Amino acid sequence: MSTGIRLVKTAGTFEEHIETLKRALKEADTVVIGAGAGLSTAAGFGYSGERFKKYFSDFEEKYGFHDMYSGGFYPFSTPEEKWAFWSRNIWINRYAPIPNDLYERLLELVKDKDYFVITTNVDHCFQRAGFDKKRLFYTQGDYGLFQSSDPQGITAHKTYDNEEMVREMIISQGFEIASDGNLIIPEGKQISMTIPSDLIPYCPDDGRPFTTNLRADDTFVEDEGWHEASQRYSQFLQRHRNTGTLYLELGVGYNTPVIIKYPFWRMTMENPRAIYACLNKGEAYTPEEIGEKSICINEDFSKVIDELLKK
């Protein structure tokens, strides 16, 4: 990607970077976490491979896509089939247990700090792991919410909790749900690729079909909770614009850099007391202009957090 900005890595060994980041965490008055898809992937939310094949091998065989992301854009011929796919996708990425404790360990690093989290992830992992929900801003939506497919009037700023609707769809396909939320494929049972027509979800306020509350186009609903979180984030940044702040960027790529990456660069440049840390295996870079105030670590998240938690 060409940005007109010269990107560089930061000099030093992994061990030196860890010690520098430890010191930055200790000395920071404020920590602003910016989290992208790479963090959830490291927490076990892979959209392809074994996890995809376990729950979507029937869809893969029929339609030829090989990951959940691609399946989300597939033009299924019926809503019954579309919601069979989406209910599985939503359940395993929003309501089933988080595959590992990466988010809990991240909380250990910052729980005693004045922190705030902005994330493009839609799996709700931060709140489920115990982060203060008043310190979270999910910019791109939530797998746990539905919205009208044509939001206007009363539905223009309204979302709807979907857990019970999704649960019914899941069970109708032949799955079982364990007490901890894990999705179970009963031995010897044929799993259906459709849901019953009477489970197709419709908005109770306008009668239109429901859709996921994910930012895919200009129909994305920014509800009251979204705007409150956005305001809290803006006020937090304003209060701390000149304090000793660590901008901790985790797994953020270049799909939507204007949400986290570019603002973190700008705020680091503007605040003489700020430090920018980029953790992203294979993609940890910083603008040359803030190179002296940056820490770039091209390593596995779990390894990095383990090292940071060591006394």
Q: What is the CATH number for 107?
A: 3.40.50.1220
Q: Please write the tens of the pLDDT for every residue from 163-192.
A: 999 999 999 999 999 999 999 999 988 999
Query: Does position 28 have pLDDT exceeding 80, yes or no?
Result: yes
For residues 23 and 119, membership in a common domain is answered with yes
pLDDT of 2 reads 47
For residues 166 and 83, membership in a common domain is answered with yes
- Position 3 confidence tier, pLDDT thresholds 50, 70, 90: low
Angle at 69 between CA 136 and CA 276, to 5 degrees: 40
- Position 5 confidence tier, pLDDT thresholds 50, 70, 90: confident
* DSSP β-bridge partners for residue 212: 146
Q: Please write the tens of the pLDDT for every residue from 66-82.
A: 999 999 999 999 999 99
Q: Average pLDDT, stretch 258-277?
A: 97
Q: Average pLDDT, stretch 103-121?
A: 97
Identify whether 305 is part of a domain: yes
Identify whether 177 is part of a domain: yes
pLDDT of 201 reads 98
Please say whether the beta carbons of 170 and 91 come within 8 A: yes
For residues 191 and 245, membership in a common domain is answered with no
- 294-297 and 275-279 beta bridge pairing: parallel
User: Of 179, 214, 249, which residue constitutes the final position of a domain?
Assistant: 214
Say how many CA atoms lie within 13 Å of 37 toward its Cβ. 10
Query: Does position 256 have pLDDT exceeding 90, yes or no?
Result: no
Rounded-to-integer distance, Cα 135 and Cα 30, Å: 12
For the chain, the domain total comes to 2
What is the enclosing helix (H) or strand (E) of 304?
A: helix 301-309
For residues 90 and 158, membership in a common domain is answered with yes
Please say whether the beta carbons of 148 and 178 come within 8 A: no
Query: Does position 37 have pLDDT exceeding 80, yes or no?
Result: yes
Burial of 214 (0-12, 13-18, 19+ CB in 10 A): middle
Rounded-to-integer distance, Cα 67 and Cα 283, Å: 22
Q: Please write the tens of the pLDDT for every residue from 116-160.
A: 999 999 999 999 999 999 999 999 999 999 999 999 999 999 999
Residue with token string 């709140």: 127
For residues 164 and 282, membership in a common domain is answered with no
pLDDT of 38 reads 94
Say how many CA atoms lie within 13 Å of 167 toward its Cβ. 11
For residues 253 and 127, membership in a common domain is answered with yes
Identify whether 223 is part of a domain: no
What's phi and psi for 134, nearest 5 deg?
-80, -5
Q: Is the pTM of this model over 0.85?
A: yes
Q: Please write the tens of the pLDDT for every residue from 218-255.
A: 999 999 999 999 999 999 999 999 999 999 999 999 88
- CA distance between the termini of the chain: 39
For residues 66 and 178, membership in a common domain is answered with yes
Identify whether 291 is part of a domain: yes
Q: Average pLDDT, stretch 17-37?
A: 96
For residues 158 and 200, membership in a common domain is answered with yes
pLDDT of 249 reads 97
Q: Average pLDDT, stretch 94-98?
A: 97
Identify whether 127 is part of a domain: yes
Query: Does position 305 have pLDDT exceeding 90, yes or no?
Result: yes
pLDDT of 4 reads 66
User: Which of 118, 121, 108 is CA-nearest to residue 25?
Assistant: 108
Whole domain around residue 251: which residue ranges?
Answer: 7-41+101-139+240-309
Amino acid occupying residue 278:
C
What's phi and psi for 120, nearest 5 deg?
-95, -5
Identify whether 264 is part of a domain: yes
For residues 131 and 157, membership in a common domain is answered with no
Query: Does position 31 have pLDDT exceeding 80, yes or no?
Result: yes
Strands (E), 82-224: 114-119, 136-138, 141-148, 160-161, 176-177, 183-184, 210-214
pLDDT of 282 reads 85
pLDDT of 7 reads 87
Identify whether 165 is part of a domain: yes
* DSSP β-bridge partners for residue 209: 202
Rounded-to-integer distance, Cα 261 and Cα 253, Å: 8
- What CA–CA distances, in Å, run from 11 to 8, 178, 245, 285, 298? 9, 48, 21, 11, 12
Please say whether the beta carbons of 223 and 158 come within 8 A: yes
User: Where is pLDDT greater, at 8 or 139?
Assistant: 139
For residues 276 and 165, membership in a common domain is answered with no
Rounded-to-integer distance, Cα 177 and Cα 167, Å: 8
**Summary mean pLDDT of the chain:** 96
For residues 152 and 252, membership in a common domain is answered with no
For residues 114 and 261, membership in a common domain is answered with yes
Please say whether the beta carbons of 73 and 150 come within 8 A: no
